[in-house]
Chain A
């Protein structure tokens, strides 16, 4: 009996001590982690898409409720006017979901840039969707309200050789982003006005 009590006491004390320590560290690092996630996961893509903007899009962001999900939009200011938003879309790739950022000019509904943020595609083949600038550059100037497809599927995007599934996944992600844009355009326009 005494042995059992000792076991219970030792395990309980150890676990609660560990829980307390972790809670303290979690509290101390929470804010830093959230900022790091924005800077490193989405930051590089956002900066590339909104190249030449005069503000910091990671600070000038707003959220819109889309059904149950809250979506973040990053505002780009060009020539003194906030006329561009960057936001996320997801497509089905070869090794899982592909996350990407799409920048859209709200005046003419055209895509000004696209960048892959998170993916688990094959290194050296499908990963070119992120590392080789030729592929994402093809999306520049496309209309952001139409579905986007690779050439074999009747669209106008050249697929990465050897990575058709990845290329199709990226197009699916851009289409997904286009649908979000179509659906939320009134709210986006309203929020952007607040920046003027």
Chain B
């Protein structure tokens, strides 16, 4: 499987796009996609953590003993997550308030740990960085799409800007937790439909 660097990147955008294809990392996906802004913020945080942790895991892949590799991955991931958390608090505080507990929870996001275990531990540094970036961008696209769908119908806004007239009654169900499941299911089925044609 000698994929080119471009292929490593592109696979994260459709073939292995999380959380739709790799059905991983569903918890933050369902919880933070109340708006486009939240989805984008979460996505960027995940991109940063994924790229950094993939890079470091790949750099150290010959040093880390395989018996304690998961512990090492978690230490590396947790470090970068706390870095993101501190930076968010210092520079984008309103976003940090909205995402709340889901930033620290990136530590246990299966997408990040999954890429470290399944990819970065076995591949070269450059490939791992590209893979992390691709999967991260894919994750961001998913969150933004889901966030856009839920925000437009649930609050009648897009990025905080009203899109419907004043007479629009927001469909509050969409920004509650059950709406998240329904939207995710609909998007998954649409993707399968597109694939099976």
Contact = CB atoms under 8 A, between A and B. Distances in A.
Interface of A: 3, 6-7, 10-11, 14-15, 18, 21-22, 25-26, 29, 32-33, 36-37, 39-41, 123-124
Contact of A14 (B76, B97, B170): B76
B190 interface: no
Interface in B28-60: 34, 60
Contacts of A3: 65, 67
Interface in B142-180: 170, 172, 175-176
What does DSSP make chain A's interface, helix, strand, loop or mixed? helix
B72 interface: yes
Interface of B: 34, 60, 63-65, 67-68, 71-72, 75-76, 78-79, 82-83, 86-87, 89-91, 93-94, 97, 170, 172, 175-176
A61 to B, nearest CB: 18
B65 A6 contact: yes
What does DSSP make chain B's interface, helix, strand, loop or mixed? helix
A123 B83 contact: no
A41 B100 CA distance: 13
A148 B87 CA distance: 40
B168 to A, nearest CB: 13
Nearest 8 pairs of A and B residues by beta carbon = A18-B79, A29-B90, A36-B93, A32-B90, A40-B93, A33-B89, A7-B68, A124-B172
B89 A40 contact: no
Given A37-B93, A40-B97, A7 B79 contact: no
Query: Of residues A6, A15, A33, A40, which shows the largest number of chain B Cβ atoms within 10 Å of its Cβ?
Result: A33
Contact of A123 (B75, B89, B91, B172): B172
Contacts of A11: 68, 71-72, 75
B79 A22 contact: yes
A175 B179 CA distance: 37
A10 B68 contact: yes
Contacts of B64: 10
A33 to B, nearest CB: 5
Contacts of B72: 10-11, 14
B113 to A, nearest CB: 16
Nearest to A29: B90
A6 B68 CA distance: 10
A7 B67 contact: yes
A37 B172 CA distance: 29
